[in-house]
Amino acid sequence: MDDTVVVALFRHGLTEENKRKAYLGWNDSPLCPESRESSSKCDYDGYFSSDLPRCISTANILFPNKELHLLSHLREMNFGKWEGKTYEDLKEVSLYQRWLSDPISYSPPEGESFLEFTRRVSIGWEKITEHILSQNFQRCAMITHGGVIRYLLSEFAPQHRDFWKWQVPHHQGYELVFEKEALRRRDRCTLLREVPLTAKGLG
C-alpha cells in the first residue's frame, strides 16, 4: 500500500565478545561462524547500517550486493572504559553497581550517558526517515545493535514498553509498519511483526 512504510530492524550477528557476555559498544568483535550462516528472504528498497564492522558484515551476509547507507548514529552505546569487560570483571566497582541500579543517572567512565546515546540515535532516525520519505521508499532495513533497536522499539512500537523490557535476539528482526504521515510525525507504528532469519541452505 502506498500510504504505509515498513522499517525493519535487524541486530548484527552473534560475536565472540557477545558469547562471553562482554560489554561491546564502539569496540568491535568478529562474528561467530554460526552467524555467517544466517540469511534473509526479505527484500527492501533501502538499507541503512551502523558503520561498525560487525553490522556491515551482517548486512553483507543477510543482503548481499546491496548498497548500504552507513551512519555512525546507529552505533551501540559507548561503554568507555568498560568495553570488553564482563560483569565478573566489574562487579566490585562501585560506579558500575550504581550504573546498574540507575543507568539513567550514571554513565560508564569515558563512555556515553543514556541521554547522549538516545539523542544520537534519534538524530540518526530523523536522517533515515527523511531519506525514506524523500525517496518514497516503502520498505527499508536497518542493521544495527541491540541497544539501538530497544530504544527504537520503546519509542515507536504500537504499545509502549520500557527500553529494558524488550528482548532483541540475534536470530530475529522486527518490522515496524507505519502510516506514512505517522512516520513523518514521529508517531508510533500501527503494526509490529517478527522477522525470523534462517540458516543458509535451509528451506
Given a cut of 80, whether residue 200 has pLDDT beyond it is no
Model pTM? 0.94
- For the beta carbon of residue 180, count every other beta carbon within 10 angstroms: 16
Q: Is the pLDDT of residue 1 over 60?
A: no
List of E strands, the chain: 4-11, 38-39, 46-50, 69-71, 139-144, 172-179, 191-196, 198-199
Rounded to whole angstroms, the Cα distance separating 78 from 193 reads 29
Tens digit of each residue's pLDDT (9 = 90 or more) over 133-176: 999 999 999 999 999 999 999 999 999 999 999 999 998 999 99
What the chain holds in terms of domains, given with CATH numbers, is: 4-76+114-199 (3.40.50.1240)
